[in-house]
Structures are given as C-alpha cells and as structure tokens.
Amino acid sequence: MLMAFSLVFFVSLYKRRVLQNQLRLQEMQTQHQQEMLKATLTSQEEERNRLGTELHDGVGALLSTIKMNLQVSQRSNSLDTLPEVIEHLTETIGLVRTISHEMMPIVLKKYGLKRAVADLFEKINKSDEITASINSWDEFDRDESDNLMIYRIIQELTNNSLKHAEASSIDLECILNEDETRIVFSDNGKGFPPEVLEKSEGIGLWNISNRAQTVGAAVYFTNKQSGGASVELRINLRSKAKTLP
C-alpha cells in the first residue's frame, strides 16, 4: 500500500508539474502575442499620424493656398493668380502621388516584387552615402498582399541600415528552394546591439517579425563576423498568408 500510495503521489506530482509548465508556456505565448499586437498597433498609429501630418501640413496647406488664390481672382475678376494656382495644383498632385506610392507602390502592383525592390534600391543609390544591390533573385509566386508585406520588410530593413547602422552598402539575395524561399538582407554597418539581438526588441524588429508571420515566414536576426547585420527571411511556399490587422 505504501508503494502504491507513493506511486500515485509521484504520478500526481508529475502531472501537476506538466500542467504548470503548460500553463507557463501558454502565458508566455499569450504575452508574446500581446507584445506583437501592441507593436503592430503602435506602428500603425505612427503611420496614421505621419500620413495625417503630411495630408494636413502638405496637401491641406497647398489646397488652402489654391483656394485663397482663386478667391482673389474671383474678387478682382482677374486671372493674374492663375499661374500660381496651376503651380500649386501641380505640387499638390505630386505630393498626393508620393503619399499614395508610400501606401502601395505602383511599381509593385504593376510589375511585381523584384521590380519594386529594384526601384527602392535605385532611389537609395542616388545618394552618395550608401549603395544597395540585388546580388541574385529567383522568382517565386505569392499574391499581391504577401508581396506587399515582403516589400515592407525589406523597406524596414533598409531604413534601419540608413538611419541606425551607419552602413555604406546593402546586399540582397532571394534564393528559391523546393518548398521555401530564402531572402537574405545584409549590410556592413554596426550590426544589432547585443540586447536587441538577444530579445529582438524594438518596434522595428517587432514589425518585421509580425509581418513575417503574416506570409508564413520565419525571420532570423544575426550579426556577421565580418561586421554588419544579416536578416534571413524563410518563406514557406506552402503556407497561406494571414491578414495583418
């Protein structure tokens, strides 16, 4: 009876520990999801604020100027302000195109992901501070929403290299395997700080990780031995993308 009691006690204790571990794992997963959601919402709010500021200070100001010039023309019954109106309208159209391009690049919609990334890198290469190159690119098939998410990831990584890494070169490779695509982004900058690399903290890295999940991808952040950062995106070609909230 003593042996039976001991066996029941240890089995009960084992089950309790297993249950505690499961609960602890669920709590960690829930916390991780909450942090991912919080980072996404923060990023979206920052993007809305930025677009709102550009629309108010840029487009709104130009339209107010156009309205004022037209009112002056109406009161004076003259077309003297017409050249200024045309100039401001042209500037407004250009600003609206820029904002819409940032929201959904036209080149991505018309010509696909590779062309959109090449267009992004061409703009970067106009600067004397940094060069960006696509070293290789194997074409792979994803829908438009997935391509936009992947483009945003590359755009975010590029911004990190420009603003924080003090890099002078960016390299990108896209390698197609049997059931996955590997996109490898690297630069020759300062690399990720150890504390950031350890926990993948920061809004930027959270955004990248979250966007990666929406396309069924895993993302790996590392520092190269030769210096600089390396980010590898492994996209499961059999996975179905989720909609980003």
Residue 245 domain-assigned? no
Residue 135, SS3? Answer: strand
Predicted confidence (pLDDT) per residue in 1-45, tens digit = 667 777 776 777 778 888 888 778 777 766 655 555 555 556 555
Q: Count of domains in the chain?
A: 2
Q: Name 237's Cβ contacts closer than 8 Å, sequence gap at least 6.
A: 140, 141, 179, 180, 181
Q: Which residues pair with 176 in a beta bridge?
A: 181
pLDDT of residue 138: 93
Identify the three-state secondary structure at position 125: helix
Last residue of a domain, one of 85, 103, 121: 103
Residue 198 lies in domain: 106-236
* pTM: predicted TM-score of the whole model, two decimal places: 0.62
If asked whether residues 229 and 130 sit together in one domain, one would say yes
Asked if the structure places residue 40 within a domain, the reply is yes
pLDDT for residue 181 is more than 50:
yes
pLDDT, tens digit, 9 for 90 and up, residues 52-100: 677 767 777 778 888 887 887 877 887 777 888 888 888 888 777 777 6
Same domain for 152 and 213? yes
Residues 157 and 47 in one domain: no
pLDDT tens by residue, 202-223 = 556 777 888 888 888 899 999 9
Is residue 209 within 8 Å of residue 220, measured between CB atoms? Answer: no
pLDDT band at 48 (very low <50, low <70, confident <90, very high): low
Report the share of the chain in percent with pLDDT over 70.
78
Q: What CATH number does the domain containing 208 carry?
A: 3.30.565.10
CB-based contacts of 168, cutoff 8 Å, min separation 6: 129, 130, 131, 188, 189
pLDDT of residue 243: 39
Are 105 and 119 in contact by the 8 Å Cβ rule? The answer is yes
| pLDDT average, residue stretch 100-119 | 82
Torsion over CA: 132, 116, 205, 232 (sign): negative
